Structures are given as C-alpha cells and as structure tokens.
A and B are shown apart, each in its own frame.
Chain A
C-alpha cells in the first residue's frame, strides 16, 4: 500500500488559515497568507486532524489521497 500524498493548491487557497490553525505541524501559511506545507511534516502522525483540515477547507484547496 502506498502512502497517501498530501496536496495543496496555492492558486485556489484564500488564506483562511484553517489548516495552519488546526494542524500547525503539517500546514503553515507563506508570507502572502497562502497554504504552505511544513518541511518534514508528517500528516500520518496527525491523520484525524489532517482529514478535518482537508474536509473543512472552504475552497477545497487541500487533498490527501
């Protein structure tokens, strides 16, 4: 079984900061306020929260599959 890939769409992102607030170990905001992945962040270590962040993104700019 291959590990799920966490994906972000910076163009779609509106910088709500929901993901960065919910899982700061995995998601961050760049200097423009848009989503950035934390280098070396491990989504599997916070799987439940990452799933909530993906489901809750207001513009569907996150996926994990």
Chain B
C-alpha cells in the first residue's frame, strides 16, 4: 500500500512543497532538502532557510506503469498512463525525488535539464494537494 500522508504532516512541509524551502547549515554551508534538525555533513544544529533554484538535471529515473502507481496517483495513472519519477540533482547539489511532467517517459534521459513546476499532486480526503514536479527546461 502507498503511504498516507496526513494533513498535519503535509502542512508541516508546505513551504518545501510549494517553494522548495531548504536548510543551509550556518557552520559548513551545506544545503539540505528537506530541512533537518542537524546538518548531515557536519552535525551542527544551526541552520537558516533558503529557497532552492528549482533548476537541475535528471540524475536517475524510473517509469511507473499504471498497475504500479501508489494509490494516491492511481487516478492520474489511469487518466494519463505511465509516468516518470526522477531523482533530480539541483544546481545547489541537492538531490530530490519527484515526478516529471510535460514529457513522455520514453523521451526522458539522464542528464536532461529540468526545472521545477508546481502541480496538483492528488486529492486526499477531498482536499487538493499541490507540490513540485519537474519538467524539461527550455533553452538548453
């Protein structure tokens, strides 16, 4: 079964999901997404919020077929068919897992430049949930 994300948990991550808010360690300068209480690089616990650029490239990806979609994405898979999920490496060095949109899965390539875009993710208990996906960026 897929993960059920409760409203409070989703709410807690709203700034990450809508504005790519990350943490920059005030000791070593490492950027972490999602933000954590202590820096994974140096262990320091002081950090400040920063907004990621949303620009990066596909580091790795997989294609989800309708039968394999998590329940919250089952309706999407039914309506639009298979979709790609990628690990995207951002300019800041952070790697994020997200869906790719506005691209046919066979056209996805490792190293493809992408940028973040806010999309409807799914509906949970009647509430529309928004979050980031990535799409091929123009002009590269």
Tell whether A pairs with B. no
